[in-house]
């Protein structure tokens, strides 16, 4: 469930009209040959990029599992809620089981679930960590996201090579420096 109040959704026709209006605002003719289908393409692309896929979290009882599990290199694309421009990156997700392990393919699905919406990288990081913790009851969860933001690359400061790193640490990874260092090393952040 969303942490935000839902708003009444505009119709598809309203969305198409809004894109046509935006094109006109930019000084373009929305009826010229190259732009006739642009409203449909923009609306379809934004819908696709902001619709979270369904998934069923699958955790398995594994009483003897007490070592860190890490899945890294998970590619994601999200849409910056401030500019409606994409940001892309990779996620590393690790957790310390407490009797349950998560199906490994579910970890990228959790990242995708939260990336496919209007988002902030910091919030995305926290939401992934919280979901892994809730599903597994893990003793600790750590998530590190590395992303490039097109809103910084093509406008404003125009820094196309900037990489934003965020982390969210829960449980033992927040409270124990040795556990955090081991996790970060397994994720490949051992500089």
For the annotated catalytic residues, the residue numbers are 80-83, 121, 149, 151
Distance CA 94, CA 169 (A): 10
CB atoms within 10 A of CB 90: 14
Bridge partners of 166, per DSSP, are: 145
- The token duo for 139 is 């003793």
Distance CA 127, CA 48 (A): 20
CB atoms within 10 A of CB 113: 18
The torsion angles phi and psi of 112, rounded to 5 degrees, stand at -60, -40
| Residue whose token pair is 């995305």 | 124
Distance CA 58, CA 112 (A): 16
Give the CA diameter of the chain: 65
Distance CA 111, CA 130 (A): 11
Q: Give CA 150 to chain center in angstroms.
A: 15
């Amino acid at each position: 469930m969303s942490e935000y109040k839902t708003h009444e959704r505009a119709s598809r026709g309203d969305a198409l009209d809004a894109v046509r209006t935006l094109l006109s605002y930019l000084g373009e003719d929305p009826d010229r040959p190259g732009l006739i289908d642009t409203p449909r393409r923009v609306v379809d692309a934004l819908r696709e990029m902001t619709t979270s896929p369904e998934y069923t979290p699958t955790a398995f009882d594994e009483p003897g599992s007490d070592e860190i599990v890490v899945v890294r290199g998970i590619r994601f694309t999200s849409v910056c809620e401030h500019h409606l421009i994409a940001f892309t990156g990779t996620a590393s997700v690790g957790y310390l089981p407490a009797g349950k392990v998560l199906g490994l393919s579910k970890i990228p699905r959790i990242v995708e679930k939260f990336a496919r919406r209007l988002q902030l990288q910091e919030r995305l990081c926290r939401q992934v960590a919280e979901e892994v913790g809730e599903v597994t009851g893990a003793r600790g969860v750590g998530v590190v996201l590395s992303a490039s933001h097109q809103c910084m690359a093509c406008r404003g400061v125009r820094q196309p090579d900037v990489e934003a790193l965020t982390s969210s640490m829960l449980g033992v990874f927040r409270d124990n420096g040795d556990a955090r260092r081991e996790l970060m090393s397994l994720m490949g952040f051992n500089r």
